[in-house]
Amino acid sequence: MRQKTVKINGVEYKLQSIPYRSYLDIVDNSTNERGVLMKSAYADELFKHCVVNPKVKLEDFDNDYSSGYELMNEVETFLGSRGEPEETKEESTE
């Protein structure tokens, strides 16, 4: 799994990728019957599975909304980014 460390207002957060299916399950489970993404359920699950250190919950940002928004943006950007390409093995032509 890919990992990345981001710093927000002096706090370092270690982010971890999740499988694409898991991400889609989170989106599906956080969407109401009218097709609207329920942001609190979505953010809860992404923080739970993608922010590995320190572990955080939405309530940790009750007095600092901007850090919560920024962390959520960092998680979404990280998950949407491409990982480092794996080394490719060159086939021998001998």
What's CA 45's distance to the chain center, in Å? 9
Nearest residue to 69 via CA among 12, 8, 5 = 8
- φ, ψ dihedrals at 22, nearest 5°: -65, -40
Determine, yes or no, domain membership for 21.
yes
Number of structural domains in the chain: 1
Determine, yes or no, domain membership for 87.
no
Determine, yes or no, domain membership for 86.
no
Q: What is the pLDDT of residues 11-51, one digit of tens each?
A: 999 999 999 999 999 999 999 999 999 999 999 999 999 99
Determine, yes or no, domain membership for 91.
no
Model pTM? 0.83
How many C-beta atoms lie closer than 10 Å to residue 15's C-beta?
20
- φ, ψ dihedrals at 55, nearest 5°: -65, 135
Determine, yes or no, domain membership for 37.
yes
39 is in which domain, residue-wise? 3-80
Determine, yes or no, domain membership for 67.
yes
Q: What is the pLDDT of residues 49-78, one digit of tens each?
A: 999 999 999 999 999 999 999 999 999 999
Determine, yes or no, domain membership for 68.
yes
State the DSSP code for 66. H
